Amino acid sequence: VGGALYQDIKDLLPQSERHDYFSRNGGGHPRSYVPHQVRLNPDSRLAQILQTEVIPVNSLHHQAIQRVPKPYQITGYAGDNIPEALELPGHPCFCGVQWHPEELVTTQESARKLFAAFVDVCRKRGN
């Protein structure tokens, strides 16, 4: 389709922020730990849903989007410019995020807003 991934951020982009805050062997930070922020494109669906352009997120990954095929658009970036969100323009619901909002529902209003928007679209579409 034309997209590509950085298979391992730390190896391929050593100057980047840490993104792999997942727990190894039961140690480390809780999955709800929010070590960095994501800047959202102000015109993006995500910014509209979350009603903000900057949100704190958890970071539990070692891979990242390198490029996306058209017509997809990257709409959110970490402080080191690693892509963290993408959307399909014109689609009523297609939003992808690199963080794990399911782990933030009890602590972050932004996670609750994201899931509420998804449920709302499902209700409107009837499926």
What residue ranges do the domains of the chain occupy? 4-125
Task: Answer whether 69's CB lies under 8 Å from 86's CB.
Answer: no
| pLDDT over threshold 60, residue 127 | no
What whole-number distance in Å separates Cα of residue 62 and Cα of residue 20?
Answer: 5
Task: Answer whether 78's CB lies under 8 Å from 37's CB.
Answer: yes
Q: What is the pLDDT of residues 39-91, one digit of tens each?
A: 999 999 999 999 999 999 998 878 888 899 999 999 999 999 999 999 999 99
Amino acid (1-letter code) at residue 40: L
3-state secondary structure of 65: strand
Give the global pTM.
Answer: 0.85
| pLDDT over threshold 70, residue 19 | no
CATH top-level class for 4-125?
alpha beta
